[in-house]
A and B are shown apart, each in its own frame.
Chain A
Amino acid sequence: MSDQHFEPVIIGFTCNWCSYRAADLAGTARVKYAPNVRLIRLMCSGRLDPTFVIKAFASGADGVLITGCHPGECHYIEQNYKAMRRYLLLRRVLTQMGIEPERIKLVWASAAEGVKLAGEINAFVDDVRALGPLHWMHESALHQEDELHTTHSHASEAMAVEVPA
């Protein structure tokens, strides 16, 4: 399963108020972390719709990292708790779909924890690399032989039929 030079693709969702700044801090402090993670800034981990995570996996991500403020420190009072609950239920659904629970990770990181966040990213990248590629199948890849019918019929045109008086 494991490719010789497999580099996992990780999508990381960060909170504007903490983990995004932690990643920024890591950069300014020249703390290195694995380039496998593509960070996407949200205003809050509570903005993380589970759709984003599922879409990331369906589109080819090997792992998804969700980061937010420490419990009790949410800029919007308690949305990071909601993120945690969604994460726990989402992980159960993904496991049932055959996606290892280790491919999704929730990390709390304050704006001051650049070093911690870098360490968590590196550890996660290593874990996902060890799991190997996910390569979620796509309809097109599986059914290349039956091409999608591309001739759309247009309903407006369809009504141009003769109706007996």
Chain B
Amino acid sequence: MTSKPKFAMYWASSCGGCEIAVLNIGEKILDVDANFDVVFWPVAMDAKYKDVEALEDGAITLTLFNGGMRTDENADMARLLRRKSKILVSFGSCACEGCIPGLANLSSVKDIFDAAYASVSTDNPNNLRPRSDCAVPEGQIHIPVFSQLVRTLDQVVAVDYYIPGCPPESHQIAAVIDVVIKALHGEAELPPAGATIGAGVSTCCDECPRARNVKTIKAFVRIQDVEKIDPSLCLLEQGIPCNGPATRSGCGALCPKVSAQCIGCYGPAEGVIDFGARLISAYASVIDSNDPAEIERILDGIPDPVGQVYRFNLAKSLLQAARPAWAK
């Protein structure tokens, strides 16, 4: 048993992309190995929950926690790892703001289960549904209970740092790991608690090389319906709903650089309280019409407003979930 600081990484309700992003830091991963004992990282090594439970409280120096809180198991693991970790990092969009799974907060649990187990594309003649407790000949089976809402990590436990992104960019992860290792050796200061790290403070637009003029548009168009995208002009000026104006910088405007609109995966920029509200402001301001009927026609070009302005952020928005999801 070495006395190196301990490192853990866990995935709750997530896709696994965050783990790939960590592995993508290249040879920097060797620095992680040289400086840390990896005690728990389900995607990379075998360890059991009871191994974590057996650790002393605060035994893990750094835990990167990705994924949202979709089941009671996710929340239990969040509490366990909070207790065992000195530094708990909310890692990636799911942990920070719910991400795509957070859009389930538009629907009730019943509707979600109906979609999964009773839609036309599902072959489920006996209408079987998952149950959290079930007796089988071999014994009692417990599976995680599906929560009413998707919650963010910081809605369940206190978090020390946030690293945004879906997934966080590997060079940003590498930079964060560098700082933590330097801090371990007393060569650098850790950022203030509660800070968003591994990202900028401004907006995606600030990193976007496209030309910006006065924005006036007569129609919103979905990007797949645009025949030819001007490679050097602001996408929003071309009528493509781009989430850049509300989104935190840090990715280097990867998407707009290749003529894809920013979808907001880096979360709200510094000072933005509600991501969607900021975008509503931004979109409304560029509409070139003062006639209510024409404005309504232009807005028809955004067929799914919540999906557009809260794509990654619904669980962390001020309203957090739509009314059907709140209903008991």
- Using a CB–CB cutoff of 8 Å, the interface residues on chain A facing chain B are 49-51, 53-55, 57-58, 71, 78, 81-82, 84-86, 88-90, 92-93, 96-99, 136-137, 139, 142-143, 146, 148-159, 161-164
Contact = CB atoms under 8 A, between A and B. Distances in A.
B228 to A, nearest CB: 27
Given A89-B280, A93-B305, A98-B324, 17 more contacts: A51-B277, A84-B290, A85-B287, A86-B284, A89-B299, A89-B302, A97-B106, A99-B323, A136-B319, A137-B321, A142-B148, A151-B158, A155-B160, A155-B191, A158-B58, A158-B61, A162-B3
20 contacts: A50-B274, A50-B277, A51-B273, A51-B274, A55-B273, A84-B295, A85-B284, A85-B289, A86-B281, A92-B305, A139-B320, A142-B149, A148-B156, A149-B82, A158-B61, A158-B86, A159-B183, A161-B61, A161-B184, A162-B3
A89 B302 CA distance: 9
B319 A49 contact: no
A160 to B, nearest CB: 9
B190 A86 contact: no
Given A162-B3, A163-B184, A51 B278 contact: yes
Tell me if B's interface is mostly helix, strand, loop or mixed.
mixed
B276 interface: yes
A92 B2 CA distance: 58
B280 A50 contact: yes
A137 B326 contact: yes
Given A149-B157, A152-B158, A164 B2 contact: yes
Contacts of B193: 152, 154-156
A148 B69 CA distance: 13
Given A51-B318, A81-B290, A155-B193, A149 B160 contact: no
B125 interface: no
Interface residues of B, number: 61
Contacts of A142: 148-149, 326
Contacts of B95: none
B115 to A, nearest CB: 17
Contact of B280 (A81, A93, A99, A149): A93
Contacts of B283: 89
A63 to B, nearest CB: 15
Contacts of A49: 277-278, 281
Nearest to A98: B323
A140 to B, nearest CB: 10
Nearest to A96: B306
A54 B4 CA distance: 48
Contacts of A81: 290
B52 to A, nearest CB: 16
